[in-house]
């Protein structure tokens, strides 16, 4: 069973950094691809970053490339999203997601994931 909980959201000034964590209180992540998505008020949920089961391949949304980094520690059953050079437009609720049946094509899609956390709010002020 996969039960995801995000930590680390908060209020930060533009240009600052935050690191989000996603812990799985159920089984290990080692058999899952993992991803981060975000949803701003009035907008659809948007892909942010993803990492394959092996950890060797990562994907990033165009708006966060070069600023955000996804990583994982399977021993700690935790996935991280390091967010640097934050902008006001990064303000959203951030969700982590996991699934054991992902393909390269589905890793960037909301519909590719069966397991989701409850989300953590990130607010970037200008």
**Tens digits of residue pLDDT in 27-61:** 766 778 999 999 999 999 999 999 998 889 999 99
Identify the pLDDT of residue 29: 66
Burial class of residue 24 in the structure, from the number of CB atoms within 10 Å of its CB (0-12 exposed, 13-18 middle, 19+ buried):
buried
Q: What is the DSSP letter of 76?
A: G
């Amino acid at each position: 069973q996969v039960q995801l909980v995000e930590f680390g959201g908060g209020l930060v000034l533009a240009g600052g950094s935050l690191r989000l964590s996603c812990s799985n209180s159920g089984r290990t992540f080692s058999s899952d691809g993992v991803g981060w998505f975000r949803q701003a008020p009035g907008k659809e949920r948007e892909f942010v970053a993803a990492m394959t089961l092996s950890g060797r391949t990562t994907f990033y949304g165009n708006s966060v490339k070069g600023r955000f980094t996804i990583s994982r520690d399977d021993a700690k059953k935790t996935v991280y999203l390091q967010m640097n050079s934050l902008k006001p437009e990064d303000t959203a609720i951030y969700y982590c997601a996991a699934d054991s049946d992902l393909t390269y094509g589905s890793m960037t899609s909301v519909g590719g994931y069966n397991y989701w956390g409850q989300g953590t709010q990130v607010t970037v002020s200008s």
